[in-house]
Amino acid sequence: MTTTPVHHLPPAYEPTAEITALIARRVPGLCLEAPFYTSEDMLAIDISEIFAKHWIFVATDAEIPEPGDYLTISVGPHSVILLRDDDEEISALHNVCRHRGARILNDPSGSVGNLVCGYHHWTYGSDGSLLHADSQPKDFDKTLFGLRKVAVQSVAGLIFICLSNAPPEDFASVATRIEPYLAPHQLRRTKVAAQVDLVEDGNWKLVMENNRECYHCDGHPELSCSLFPTYGYEPDGLPPRLRPAYDRYLAAEADLIQRCMEHDLPYQQIQELRGRATGFRIQREPMDGAGASFSPDGTPLSSKLLGELTEPTLGRLSMHWQPNAWFHVLSDHAVTFSVLPLAPNKTLLRTTWLVHEDAVEGEDYDLEDLKRVWQRTNEQDQTFVRRAQLGVTSPAYIPGPYAPNEYQVEDFCSWYIERLRVGTGMEGES
Ligand code: 3BY
Ligand code: FES
């Protein structure tokens, strides 16, 4: 006899009284209290309230170029199959067999025809529909046992998923606004030149917070060839030593705006990092030196520009995404960064370098040169994050104040606390 399956979500995670108190008493302008970075209970609530209820960035179209290509993405206890289906569309499916629950795909990436569970060989199509289940009664209704779908959207070649059955609806308007900035770079017509997974010895929020400020950027000698040291400062808050760099920045910004207008490219900042479920910031920013790429002198690192672009010097299209990503999209290549928690004090940072699909390694670009700045920067940040985790784990830690040029760290923490308060019923949706 066929039993009609009952779809039910796991029970909502109930925060402990201690966690509720921590969320309620967070003081704006100060770092978070230690348990936000160290507690197993807090990680569980981060996964259920933040990672499972918001749109998170997990991959690029270029990572699954052909029908059948797949990735498996782990988000806490969830495993999601990202697959290019037979119609060349991207689908996202829970990697959980509808028979007795076995994990179906067990490699991080690969290529498949149908999806075959290795336990009792239930066989699913690339759209998740159940095609075959051996030895079932005659009235067994296969249509009731397709793989459960995960919400997925590719925006100009960047893939976002949401594990919730009711994903935040503001994503559509965000996608509409970021698409015109990204589209000219045609990320769907790129290939992966390199991908590096770095496991950081720190909580995922320390990894994100570190990305959201450049107060520490004198620790990045390679990056400072292309990133202005004035990042995050308001003109009236500039230390005098940065005045010459700021004048250089203003000149480069004026040049960049001119070029964007000539090429009809949007460049203005949109900054909505808090006060909404899908928080983001996008803008085109000038780069130091020759202004084209992350090379020692700022000249391009790949001679084949992305898409149909003809202008190499377009600065960096920079996008920050709450809760888990940032992006640098240049004229000659793009770099994406995705952050996923592994444990309270362990985080996966996945960095992906994309070049034009026809660019040839060794001819159009040198792989080591292409990777150098962000590989070194990530390693330097890894050290900062490790030290921060060690410090916040000490009983002597007391949350300190953010400086004005760390305003995006405050925006990140405020967004995070807002979302926990909304998710746990402490306050209504704003
Ligand atoms: O991601 C950014 O925009 C910059 C680069 C380095 C630090 N961060 C603020
Ligand atoms: Fe997948 Fe049995 S658990 S076929």
Assess whether the C-beta atom of 99 lies below 6 angstroms from ligand 2: yes
| Same domain as 213, residue 134 | no
Q: Is 50 exceeded by the pLDDT of residue 89?
A: yes
| Same domain as 81, residue 184 | no
Q: How many domains does the chain have?
A: 2
Residue 414 maps to a domain: no
Atom from ligand 2 closest to the CA of residue 104: 1
DSSP assignment letter at 208: H
User: What burial class does residue 106 get, using C-beta atoms within 10 Å of its C-beta: 0-12 exposed, 13-18 middle, 19+ buried?
Assistant: exposed
Using CA atoms, how far apart are residues 356 and 351, in angstroms rounded to an integer?
17
| Same domain as 372, residue 279 | yes
Residue 423 maps to a domain: no
Q: How far is the CA of 328 from the centre of ligand 1 (A)?
A: 9
- Computed over every residue of the chain, the mean pLDDT equals 95
E-strand stretches of 101-189:
109-111, 115-116, 123-124, 130-132, 151-155, 158-162
Residue 168 maps to a domain: no
Residue type, 49: E
Residue 74 maps to a domain: yes
Looking at the CA of 337, which ligand is closest?
1
Assess whether the C-beta atom of 326 lies below 6 angstroms from ligand 1: yes
| Same domain as 394, residue 273 | yes
Q: Is 70 exceeded by the pLDDT of residue 206?
A: yes
Q: How far is the CA of 282 from the centre of ligand 2 (A)?
A: 44
Residue 406 maps to a domain: no
Pocket test for ligand 2, best of 96, 115, 122, 147 (most atoms within 8 A of CB): 122
Share of the chain above pLDDT 90, in %: 90
Atom from ligand 1 closest to the CA of residue 285: 3
Residue 278 maps to a domain: yes
13 pLDDT band, cuts 50/70/90, is low
- The average pLDDT across 96-121 equals 98
Atom from ligand 1 closest to the CA of residue 213: 9
* pTM for this prediction: 0.96
Q: Which CATH number covers residue 24?
A: 2.102.10.10
| Same domain as 127, residue 183 | no
225 pLDDT band, cuts 50/70/90, is confident
Residue 277 maps to a domain: yes
Q: Is 50 exceeded by the pLDDT of residue 302?
A: yes
Atom from ligand 2 closest to the CA of residue 98: 1
Q: Which of 243-247, 282-286, 423-427 has the highest mean pLDDT?
A: 282-286
| Same domain as 219, residue 306 | yes
Q: How far is the CA of 223 from the centre of ligand 1 (A)?
A: 10
CB atoms within 10 A of CB 111: 12
Q: How far is the CA of 130 from the centre of ligand 2 (A)?
A: 12
- The average pLDDT across 155-181 equals 98
What does the pLDDT look like over 245-276, one tens digit per residue? 999 999 999 999 999 999 999 999 999 999 99
List the domain range (segments joined by +) for residue 22. 17-154
Residue 210 maps to a domain: yes
Q: How far is the CA of 375 from the centre of ligand 1 (A)?
A: 14
What does the pLDDT look like over 227-245, one tens digit per residue? 998 888 888 889 999 999 9
12 pLDDT band, cuts 50/70/90, is low
Atom from ligand 2 closest to the CA of residue 133: 4
What does the pLDDT look like over 307-325, one tens digit per residue? 999 999 999 999 999 999 9
pLDDT greater at residue 266 or residue 86: 266
| Same domain as 368, residue 229 | yes
Q: Is 60 exceeded by the pLDDT of residue 2?
A: no
| Same domain as 119, residue 72 | yes
Assess whether the C-beta atom of 124 lies below 6 angstroms from ligand 1: no
Q: How far is the CA of 135 from the centre of ligand 2 (A)?
A: 12
| Same domain as 338, residue 282 | yes
- The average pLDDT across 52-56 equals 98
Pocket test for ligand 2, best of 93, 94, 120 (most atoms within 8 A of CB): 120
Using CA atoms, how far apart are residues 68 and 87, in angstroms rounded to an integer?
10
Share of the chain above pLDDT 70, in %: 97
| Same domain as 373, residue 241 | yes
What does the pLDDT look like over 333-347, one tens digit per residue? 999 999 999 999 999
Assess whether the C-beta atom of 214 lies below 6 angstroms from ligand 1: yes
| pLDDT given for residue 6 in this prediction | 46
What does the pLDDT look like over 15-27, one tens digit per residue? 889 999 999 999 9
Atom from ligand 1 closest to the CA of residue 318: 3
| Same domain as 142, residue 27 | yes
Q: Which CATH number covers residue 326?
A: 3.90.380.10
| Same domain as 250, residue 221 | yes
Instruction: Give 3-state DSSP helix, strand, coil % of the chain, rounded to 5.
Output: 30, 25, 45
